[in-house]
Structure formats: structure tokens, C-alpha cells
Amino acid sequence: MRVRALPFASLALLLAVSSTAGAAARAEPERRGDHGATSPPAPVALSPVDSTVEGSLPQVAFDSRGDAFAVWQEGRANGIFTRAAVKPAGGNWGPARTLARGGYVSLAVDARGDAVVAGLTLAARQGVFAVYRPTGGEWSRAVLVSGSGGAADVVQATAIDPEGRAFVTWATASSQAADNRVEVSVRRRGHWSTHVVGHGAGPAIAVAENGDALLVWHTPPGGDGRFLASWNMHGQGWQRPRPIPLATGTPVRPEQPQLILGRNGDATVFWTNWGAGVFSSSAPSGGSFGPAQNLQIGYDSLQAGATVAPDGAAALAAVANRGNGPLELRIRGSATAAWGAPVVLGQSALQSALALDRSGRLIVAWVESDGAPPDYGDLLLELATGTSAGHVSASRTLARIGGDCWMHRCTHGGDPAVAIGPDGQAIVAWVAKTDPYKGAGGVVMAQSLRLPAR
């Protein structure tokens, strides 16, 4: 399950795709710190190295065989398109394929290799599309799964269970914000079925290895409020929404929550209050959520990232100061363990991504500005590895992303994504972009790594 925060620059691209030429972007691997590992192979460009194309918002995932999946969006003069590529275990990335006209996609892959991609059509009839790929098969044609009318929210999320049952969720806007619907579509035996589960915005969804699913969203849309949660116990229907307790009852700002589920469906939800750090609340599978806990990291952050292993070990990363400040990390060794002490990984971070596998290997990637004069410096892609036992390595620079700008208010590169496969294989994806003042020229890059043994 992947849940994404949408940068201002990418939202601007959604509204208007610039055809202005930009310099071709290249990534140059660079090491900082000792990881006791050989240098990785050169990164690969997944999207065209073309000054008229803007690649952005990559996502990556593995199946249990080691096949890697990547999806991203490309802005061109004639619109925005969702593209995908697959890298067989031990092989190279195959050719990119266009899945749909539209973007802002979410990717989920199960252990068998079934995959689902969802996004926005960005057409005259705006809606949510879904594309399914069975194990070893081909991508299906895009299917419009939003069917109740209204404009779909930019934020949507996907999940897929071990049996290949796929979930796509989104919020559909109406003329009255209070009537915004949270909808979810489920694919069973080749057919999609869509239901309205509640009212609100910014839904997140996750599914456990036992098939239990959880949907969490914010309400009311566009204003400070609370989170609601609805369980689906292995296909038995969505339960009545329950409120998630808030810290001292203080309303939370309108953002998408972060959500993780362990093997048996034990859940934890994360969010950030205005002018405060990251909070969490946990629940047993199918149960009610307990009191909110202040995790004491990510002061005034925007959408902390979270990842979980099947045994309940988890990691949480948050960039403080509304996505422009220190990057802090906390690790939980098991579902019942206390969170470890905060670890500061970067000082001038913009975005981050992290992943944790069933062996306890951890990888964290983030974008950091070097702040060098005279023109606000460059952005670097930083990387650290660790374990669920709490070890975290020194950081190193994996690639140079491209130029930065004042307060990062430009269409700069970045958008890191990470995934861990079998035997410590890993993929890091990002957008390299030389000139952040151009509306095009971003190139989606992918780097293969092998993580240290636990």
C-alpha cells in the first residue's frame, strides 16, 4: 500500500503541462559514509530523457519472486499519462507501457505478483480508473471504477490481498462539502464492485495477509476535524464507521492519514496535528482504536511516511516544518514493542520514502537541499539502511537530483520511492531534473541495490 502526499509543483503540472524545453537530466551515483557494500550498478532511466516530457510521482514494489514493478506519470504536450514497467527477477527493466490517460497513480502488488494501479482520468468526465495485472499476465485495459458522479479527489489509495483481491478508494466531491462521499471499489473474480462507505476526504486503505481490510478517512472535507475507520473482515462487508480518538480531543488538520496493518490485521494510524508532532492510534483486527499517542517527532510535519513488516515491526519517518526541515525516524521492533528513540537523518529534507521487509531490513530515501549559493543550491537523493532492531546506518548520497529554488516553490525533481524484495534486493526510484524552473524535463530514474544482511 502506498499513500502519497502531493507536492505543489505536481499539482501545478496537473493544471497545465508546460512544453517549455528543459535540459536532459542525468543522475550520478555518489557515496557518502561507509556501508560495507560494493558500488551499485548505474541507475536506469524509466521515462524518456526528453526536454518536452515531465516524468513524476514514481512508485515501486516487489513480489515474492523478486519481480519489480514501477509506475509513474508523464506530462506531455497532449496530456498526462500513466506509464508502467516490470523488471523480472535477475533481469532488466522491460519497455515502458502506457496504462491510461491520467495520473496521480497508486500501486499495490501482492506476494504472488498480482498488481493493481489506480489513478485519475483527468478527462472531461473526471473519475478514478483501475488497471489490473494477474500474476505472469498482461496489464488489463483501464476500467472506470468511480460511478456515483461528481469529481474524484486527487488523493486515492490502493491495496491488494494475498489472493489477488484488489481495493481502490477515493473521495468524490459534491457541491456541498458535507456530502463528499468516501468510496471503495473491490475486484473479485474479474469484476469491480463500488460502494459508498462514508462521508469525508483523503481516504487511506490497507489489507492484512489474512485478508482483513481497513479504510480510514478524514472528515469534514477541507476543515479541521477527525478520522473515521471502517473494517472489512475478509470480504464480509464494510462495518459502521468508528471514530479514532484524538489527543485531548483537538481537531486534526485535513490530511490523508497514514495506515499500516500487521500480518493478523493489527492496525496503527498516524497523523500530525497543527503545530505538533506525529500522533498514532492502534487497534486489534476488527476492533476499536485506543487513545492517541504522541510519538514526539515531526513537529508540524506533513504526512509522515510509515511501513510495517508482517510480524508488526514498523518504522515511521517524518519531515518537520511542513515538509522542509529535519527528517526524523522512529522504529518499532514488533507489534507489542515500544517505539525506539528518534533518529535524525537529514537537516534540510523535503520528501522521504521508506520500506521494511519481513527479515527486518530497512531502507530510507529522502530529498535534501545542499543550500549552496548563489541559486539556492542543488537537491540530493540521500539513502540510509537499517534494521527493525533499531540500527540505522550513516547516510550517503545516492544521486544528484538537480537544481533547487527559493522555498522549493518550483517543479523540482525528487519524489523518492523505495521497495524491498527477496534476499535484500531493493529498488529506489526518483525524478532527476536539472532545471527546476522548467515545466518539463523530469526523468524517472530507478536504481537497483542489495541491502546488507540483517
Q: Kindly report, residue by residue over 383-394, the tens digit of the pLDDT.
A: 999 999 999 999
Mean pLDDT for the chain overall? 87
pLDDT recorded at residue 156? 87
Mean pLDDT, residues 127-153:
87
Q: What is the tally of structural domains in the chain?
A: 1
Mean pLDDT, residues 281-285:
94
Mean pLDDT, residues 173-202:
87
pLDDT band at 236 (very low <50, low <70, confident <90, very high): confident
pLDDT band at 177 (very low <50, low <70, confident <90, very high): low
Q: Say which residue, 167 or 373, is predicted with more confidence.
A: 167
Asked, for residue 2, whether it belongs to a domain, the answer is: no
Mean pLDDT, residues 198-225:
92
Whether 244 shows a pLDDT value over 90: the answer reads yes
Whether 294 shows a pLDDT value over 70: the answer reads yes
pLDDT band at 164 (very low <50, low <70, confident <90, very high): very high
pLDDT band at 25 (very low <50, low <70, confident <90, very high): very low
pLDDT recorded at residue 110? 95
pLDDT recorded at residue 430? 98
Whether 273 shows a pLDDT value over 50: the answer reads yes
Nearest to 192 by CA among 183, 203, 204: 183
Cell of 446: 530507478
Interstrand relation of 305-308 and 314-319 (parallel, antiparallel or unpaired): antiparallel
Q: Contact, 224 vs 274, CB < 8 A? A: yes
d(CA 303, CA 318): 7
Mean pLDDT, residues 195-206:
94
pLDDT recorded at residue 31? 36
Mean pLDDT, residues 192-216:
93
Asked, for residue 3, whether it belongs to a domain, the answer is: no
d(CA 21, CA 19): 6
The percent of residues above 90 in pLDDT, for the chain, comes to: 67
d(CA 353, CA 363): 8
pLDDT recorded at residue 298? 85
Q: How far out from the chain centre does Cα 152 lie?
A: 19
Asked, for residue 1, whether it belongs to a domain, the answer is: no
Asked, for residue 410, whether it belongs to a domain, the answer is: yes
Mean pLDDT, residues 63-67:
96
Cβ-proximal residues to 396 (8 Å cutoff; 6+ apart), any chain: 30, 31, 32, 33, 35, 382, 383, 384
b/e string for 121-159 if b means 16 or more Cβ within 10 A?
Answer: bbeeeebbbbbbbeeeeebbebbbbbeeebebbbbbbbb
Asked, for residue 370, whether it belongs to a domain, the answer is: yes
pLDDT digits (tens, 9 = 90+) for 353-396: 999 999 999 999 999 998 777 668 899 999 999 999 999 999 99
Mean pLDDT, residues 411-430:
96
d(CA 113, CA 116): 10
pLDDT recorded at residue 147? 66
Cell of 262: 500487521
Mean pLDDT, residues 92-108:
96
pLDDT band at 148 (very low <50, low <70, confident <90, very high): low
Mean pLDDT, residues 198-214:
93
Mean pLDDT, residues 228-254:
90
Asked, for residue 215, whether it belongs to a domain, the answer is: yes
pLDDT band at 9 (very low <50, low <70, confident <90, very high): very low
Q: How far out from the chain centre does Cα 12 lie?
A: 19
Nearest to 309 by CA among 246, 361, 236: 361
Q: Say which residue, 452 or 143, is predicted with more confidence.
A: 143
Mean pLDDT, residues 197-225:
92
CATH of residue 204's domain is 2.130.10.120
Cell of 412: 523540482
Asked, for residue 263, whether it belongs to a domain, the answer is: yes
pLDDT recorded at residue 176? 65
Helical segments of 200-336, H only? 320-323
**pTM for the whole thing?**
0.89
Range of the domain at 289: 8-450
Among the ranges 91-105, 153-167, 319-333, which has the highest mean pLDDT value?
Answer: 91-105
